[in-house]
Amino acid sequence: MSKNLLKHIHPGTKYQELTPGGHIYGSGNSKDFLTGSWRTVTPRWDEGKCKQCLLCFPVCPDSSIPVRDGKRGDFDFDHCKGCGICARVCPFGAIEYQAGEEE
């Protein structure tokens, strides 16, 4: 799993603490940037209606539909931007969008 090696860096950081060349060490620390705040509509996953076909999984631009042991779980609301593609492709009406940013 990736860890954020640059956690100490923010716009107030002194030059001595920045990484030479603007290099970013490690992997995937964008997880720390919570794009969930972008939402104006929020998906609701109806686990009962969900047939676990996983057709929603590949259409998410934000890797916000976790799949573990062949099954999807609830949305990653820290990062879901509310684009609505998943609801549109779900053949079983198991995803509905509601106004607002709240989970």
Choose between 9 and 50: whose C-beta lies nearer to another protein.
9
Q: Is 54 in the site for another protein (CB under 8 A)?
A: yes
One of 37, 49, 78, 92 touching another protein (CB under 8 A): 78
Min separation Cβ 46 and another protein, Å? 17
Site for another protein in 5-44 (CB under 8 A): 6, 9, 11, 13-15, 18-35, 38
Asked if residue 67 binds another protein (CB under 8 A), the reply is yes
Look at strands 67-68 and 71-72 and give their pairing: antiparallel
> 């920045």: which residue's tokens?
18
State both tokens at 22.
């603007």
Q: Which is nearer to another protein, 33 or 47 (CB)?
A: 33
Task: Report the residue from 37, 44, 49, 58 that binds another protein according to the rule CB under 8 A.
Answer: 58
Q: What are the two backbone dihedrals, phi and then psi, of residue 28, each rounded to the nearest 5 degrees?
A: 45, 35
Q: Three-state DSSP class for 88? A: helix
Distance CA(98)–CA(40), nearest Å, equals 9
Residue 99 bridge partners (DSSP): 41
The residues, ordered by sequence, that sit 6+ positions from 20 with a Cβ below 8 Å of its Cβ are none
Please report, as ranges, the residues that interact with another protein according to CB under 8 A.
2, 6, 9, 11, 13-15, 18-35, 38, 54-55, 57-64, 67-70, 72, 76, 78-79, 81-85, 87-89
